[in-house]
Amino acid sequence: MRLTRTILVLLSAGLVVGASEPPASARSATTAGQAVAWGWNFYGQLGDGKNVDTNVPVRVTLTIAAAVAGGYYHSLAARSDGTVGAWGDNFFGELGNGTNRASNVPVRVRRLNGAVAVAAGLSYSLALRASGSVWAWGSNWTGQLGDGTNLDSNLPVRVSGLTDAVAVAAGDSHGLAVGSDGTVWAWGSNVYGQLGDGTNLESNVPVRVVGLPDAVGAAGGSRNSLAIRSDGTVSAWGDNTDGQLGDGTNTSSNVPVQVRGLTDAVAVAGGGSYSVAIRSDGNVWAWGANGVGQLGDGTNTDSNVPVRVRGLTDAVAVAAGESHGLAVSTGAEPGSIPRPDSDPPGSAVQGPG
């Protein structure tokens, strides 16, 4: 099966865009471009017209979604026509429709077209347009909208100075963009150095992350940031209390440090206090907090270096929630992922290479 959509995770619910060629067993519930969601639904973040929690996927009342993203209590979808739909909590204007009323069905983000990617933080939203400009809306108390102010906005505002972005990502209260020249730019909260500019000063306009001239992708954790470099290595910066920078220490850094031993990375994701990466061979590696098993290595021990997630050898996409991880696998059959007790105790693998 050839997947043409990716999976992302909300911090309070799950959200998926259907594969273009789903397996026969899934076709009744998942069609091309159909978003489905599950989990907590107090604010309507599942987008099914209800506010009832569900432990099975339900269809979002939205068609032809090309990409999805999840904030803490709200959700986003970029449609194939370049418009953006949003649903869930709207206290800070994170739905971008000119109101502050929550919605349990998707509403159209106003004054925005040509969107090719979306990202969502704690209570704000980002969109990348095909032109290379970046737009933001919602909470702005730490400057996470990047427009040179600290004023919340329930309509999209343009992130200052970005004209050739090719990717966007969002942490809790900081935004990230990768330029077409391989530079990385960040704005918003910087208490832990998550902007990577060598300071701990927040910024309401993008600042350049130092020492990264060749990034091909980026991700935001809650209070840290990650970037894949053109050589397949991964750099990380910001909070490192639980080892989520993966450099073998628990020392936070306001400049990028290299994740130890990780090469051939093709995708990264940042969670609450942990990080995840896929290598080109399909194996998944994780590092950071592991109190509830979010590293997937069969233990509950934190790790400040990458450890291998058990049973995944053909992953094509990965996502990280606050304290749980998700991966899309192309070939695993039901029951083929090992049970937690199927490997001997202490068999977690460390140190990719």
Q: 238 has which bridge partners?
A: 224, 253
99-117 tens-digit pLDDT: 999 999 999 999 999 999 9
Tell me the residue ranges of DSSP E strands in 12-129. 13-17, 35-39, 54-59, 65-70, 74-79, 84-88, 103-108, 115-120, 124-129
pLDDT at 36: 84
> Locate tokens 């061979």: which residue?
281
Domain contains 287 = no
Least confident of 36-45, 103-112, 227-236, 249-258: 36-45
> Locate tokens 């695993």: which residue?
332
pLDDT at 314: 93
Domain contains 246 = no
Q: What is the CATH number of the domain that holds 58?
A: 2.130.10.30
pLDDT at 331: 66
Least confident of 33-42, 185-194, 267-276, 289-298: 33-42
Domain contains 85 = yes
27-66 tens-digit pLDDT: 222 345 788 888 889 999 999 999 999 988 889 988 778 8
DSSP assignment of 282-336 equals S-EEEEE--TTSTT-SSS---EEEEEEPTT-SSEEEEEE-SS-EEEEESSPPTT-
pLDDT over 90 percentage in the chain? 75
Residue 350 binned pLDDT confidence (cut-offs 50, 70, 90): low
- For 113-126, give one letter per residue: b (16+ CB within 10 A) or e: eebbbbbbbbbbbb
Q: What is the mean pLDDT of residues 151-173?
A: 98
Domain, as residue range, for 75: 1-163
Domain contains 1 = yes
Q: What is the mean pLDDT of residues 181-195?
A: 98
pLDDT at 106: 96
In whole angstroms, give the CA distance from residue 101 to residue 81: 25
Q: What is the mean pLDDT of residues 158-183?
A: 98
Domain contains 145 = yes
Domain contains 151 = yes
Domain contains 223 = no
In whole angstroms, give the CA distance from residue 69 to residue 125: 9
Domain total in the chain: 1
Q: 318 has which bridge partners?
A: 327
Question: Does the structure show a pLDDT above 60 at 206?
Answer: yes
Domain contains 217 = no
Residue 7, H or E segment:
strand 7-9
